[in-house]
Amino acid sequence: MSNVNRKNDAPVRPPMGGPGRGPRAFGPRKPINKKTVIRLLGYLKPYWPRLLLVMGCIIISAVASVSSATFLGRIIDNHITPMLRQAAAGESVSYGGLAVTILQMAGLYVLAICASYFQMRIMAVVSHSVLKGIRNQMFEHMQSLPIRYFDTNTHGAVMSYYTNDTDTLRQMVSQTLPQVVSSAISIVVVFISMLVCSVWLTLLVLLCAFAMMKVTAKIGGKSAGFFVNQQKSLAGLNGYIEEMINGQKVVKVFNHEDEAKEEFDRRNDELCHNATSANKFANILGPVNNNLGHIEYVLLAIVGGAMAIGGVTNLSLTGGLNVLTLGAIASFLTLSRNFMQPINQVAQQINFVAMALAGAERIFGLLDEKPETDEGYVTLVNVREEGENLIETAEKTGIWAWKHLHGDGTLTYKKLEGDVVLEEVDFAYEEGKPVLHDISLYAKPGQKVAFVGATGAGKTTITNLINRFYDIADGKIRYDGININKIRKADLRRSLGVVLQDVNLFTGTVMENIRYGKLDATDEECIAAAKLANAHDFITRLPEGYNTLLTGDGSGLSQGQRQLISIARAAVADPPVMILDEATSSIDTRTEALVQRGMDSLMHGRTVFVIAHRLSTVQNSDVIMVLDHGRIIERGNHEQLIAQKGQYYQLYTGAFELE
């Protein structure tokens, strides 16, 4: 069954073209909700053993980074300075101790390299596993959303969830998150090492770090809001591009190129503005923090040197009171670099965090969309007939029945026949704007019911209600005497065959596209359905016949050929009720004459609802419903309506086409 046909009497998504339309996202917006962060971290919970290994690797790397600074001080104070004294005194110099210290440092660096390697490998697996789970959850949830959601959201904007938004999450999980954790651990380890070296110099570093964080908060706060809006603008632009590509022929036919370019420029300017503003602040953050780090480094060198020269007593975390040595100053300068660098790295990651959380907020918005409700409990099952009794069976008998478990616990089976009744049905896509008024009709098994009327009269809406793509506001729809609200939607739709004016073919062979109507259909059943729809001849002339691969929605086929495959797809499902929504509108008169015989065979013995403009499709209907502004104003067969000389008579005598 194809997707719902979007006509003028169905809701349309917000307009994408035209100046001034579409969402505007200039200027920063409110901060991301903390619940988004907590919810996002919840996706990492299943991987906590691996994350513990990553944490261990990060700790090893942080300790190695700190140890390199202390090694430098040990080399200067314990080896180089004594060796210089020995050389000045003419004594023999021993390099053994220096070599051992250097080898120890080399070993620690090798350990840090291995830790970083395993950290990156593990996080690559974790990040892509998390994204795989999120994409699976999004797609699974998307299948449960009502048709209304896809009628009111552009396909490009929906695709942006799977591309741009998930990519920002990948970058945050695989790079930003480990970097932030690594920086936090490094800051703690380095801070303790600095206190061990000199409390006074550590206080100076803290003052400089406080100034750096204030600058980061000021600049980073401005860029974060624009990064959030950048994601929204990008989604809007993707949606517009998708719509323009799909409607390129219409754009050219109506010479709408200049207006399309104008609207694209506006949306592109909006994206450029938000992206430029975000990156403008983000790009100046790094140089500003780096220069603050340089100033801090110079201040430490001056203060440390003055303390050493002046013999100022140094205070350390261990409680020792001594004078700063040259090695201690060198070690502390390196430690200060190692302390400021993580702070600067965290500041740089703020922008990526903002983008990722903006993407996460959009993804969670999709996941929080209310799924299509289905309170039905009547199911469709295979049965076999034993006298007047219907016995449920696992065998494929070709006989179907409604399995109805009543409130009193009794179980009944009602044979699927295709008896459809609408009783005083009212419906509105938007509250306060009714589309259908007091629609009452019945279609007995085997009857052919046609709907005619102007565009927007409500013809397609009626068939959408029978499918339960939308639920009625008032009244009842009964299927074989059962209120369709009690029938599970999947089983209801399985019993209906739909052929739409807008054909959707999927990437795959011709055989696979026909089998889409019945996944367990054999090749012989698919070929028989194609013959019934008079599609067999042109299919056999394709390069690979039924194994010809179709791509791009069957772009290599004519519109009529695509429609014939759609009819064959409905035929192979063999449902008791058929809905033909202008199914032959894309077929030329000669092809229609061929397919009409197949359509008559397809409709034989079935309840059929037809929406058509061609009188050849309408005239032989058992009953014709003439709709006007959501009301049935005339009903009867062709001869009866002609005799009434009402609106149908005017349509029939005024032109060959009804519209």
Cβ contact 402:384 at 8 Å: no
Q: Is the pLDDT of residue 436 over 60?
A: yes
Q: Is the pLDDT of residue 477 over 90?
A: yes
Percent of residues, the chain, with pLDDT higher than 70: 86
pLDDT computed for residue 123 by the predictor: 86
| Ranges 25-39, 256-270, 272-286: which has the least confidence | 25-39
pLDDT computed for residue 653 by the predictor: 75
Q: Residue 418 contacts by C-beta under 8 Å, 6 or more apart in sequence?
A: 443, 445, 446, 480, 495, 576, 577, 606, 607
Highest mean pLDDT among 17-21, 136-140, 217-221: 136-140
Give the residue among 29, 338, 100, 379 at the shortest CA–CA distance from 197: 338
Q: Is the pLDDT of residue 17 over 50?
A: no
C-alpha span between 548 and 544 (Å, rounded)? 4
Cβ contact 577:496 at 8 Å: yes
- Quick: pLDDT tens for 169-225: 888 888 888 888 888 888 888 888 888 888 888 888 888 888 877 877 777 666 666
pLDDT computed for residue 188 by the predictor: 85
How confident is the model over 275-286, as a mean pLDDT? 75
How confident is the model over 487-505, as a mean pLDDT? 85
629 dihedral zone (left: phi>0; alpha: psi -120 to 50; beta): left
Residue 464 in tokens: 């959408």
Report which DSSP code applies to 47.
G
Q: Is the pLDDT of residue 659 over 60?
A: no
C-alpha span between 394 and 364 (Å, rounded)? 40
Give the residue among 468, 465, 466, 458 at the shortest CA–CA distance from 437: 458
C-alpha span between 229 and 26 (Å, rounded)? 7
Q: Is the pLDDT of residue 333 over 80?
A: yes
- Quick: pLDDT tens for 604-623: 778 888 887 666 677 888 89
pLDDT computed for residue 455 by the predictor: 77
- Quick: pLDDT tens for 576-604: 888 888 766 666 667 666 666 666 666 77
pLDDT band at 478 (very low <50, low <70, confident <90, very high): very high
pLDDT computed for residue 22 by the predictor: 39
pLDDT band at 458 (very low <50, low <70, confident <90, very high): confident
pLDDT band at 506 (very low <50, low <70, confident <90, very high): confident
Q: Residue 607 contacts by C-beta under 8 Å, 6 or more apart in sequence?
A: 418, 419, 420, 443, 444, 445, 446, 447, 449, 576, 577, 578
Cβ contact 529:568 at 8 Å: yes
pLDDT computed for residue 76 by the predictor: 74
Residue 510 in tokens: 């011709």
DSSP state letters, 296-312: HHHHHHHHHHHHHHHTP
Q: Is the pLDDT of residue 6 over 50?
A: no
C-alpha span between 315 and 454 (Å, rounded)? 91
- Quick: pLDDT tens for 339-390: 887 877 777 777 678 778 888 888 898 899 888 888 889 999 888 888 878 8
CA atoms within 13 A on the CB side of 609: 28
pLDDT computed for residue 319 by the predictor: 62
DSSP state letters, 60-89: HHHHHHHHHHHHHHHIIIIIIHHHHHHHHT
All domains in the chain, ordered by first residue:
34-367 (1.20.1560.10), 379-415 (no CATH), 420-654 (3.40.50.300)
Cβ atoms within 10 Å, residue 299? 16
- Quick: pLDDT tens for 407-427: 888 889 988 888 899 999 999
DSSP SS3 for 477:
strand
C-alpha span between 424 and 631 (Å, rounded)? 11
Mean of all residue pLDDT scores within the chain: 80
pLDDT computed for residue 422 by the predictor: 92
Q: Residue 551 contacts by C-beta under 8 Å, 6 or more apart in sequence?
A: 507
71 or 132, greater pLDDT: 132
C-alpha span between 597 and 608 (Å, rounded)? 15
Contacts 24+ apart (CB under 8 A), 591-599: 591/534, 591/560, 591/564, 592/616, 594/534, 595/533, 595/534, 595/564, 595/567, 597/534, 598/531, 598/532, 598/533, 598/534, 598/567, 598/571, 599/533, 599/567
Give the residue among 39, 50, 337, 363 at the shortest CA–CA distance from 178: 50
pLDDT band at 15 (very low <50, low <70, confident <90, very high): very low
Cβ contact 570:528 at 8 Å: no
283 or 494, greater pLDDT: 494
- Quick: pLDDT tens for 53-74: 988 888 888 788 777 767 776 7
pLDDT computed for residue 1 by the predictor: 40
Q: Is the pLDDT of residue 144 over 50?
A: yes
pLDDT computed for residue 487 by the predictor: 92
- Quick: pLDDT tens for 287-329: 777 788 788 888 888 888 888 787 777 777 766 657 777 777 8
Cβ atoms within 10 Å, residue 519? 9
Q: Is the pLDDT of residue 5 over 60?
A: no
DSSP SS3 for 455:
coil
Q: Is the pLDDT of residue 78 over 80?
A: no
pLDDT computed for residue 547 by the predictor: 92
516 dihedral zone (left: phi>0; alpha: psi -120 to 50; beta): alpha
**End-to-end CA distance of the chain, in Å?**
27
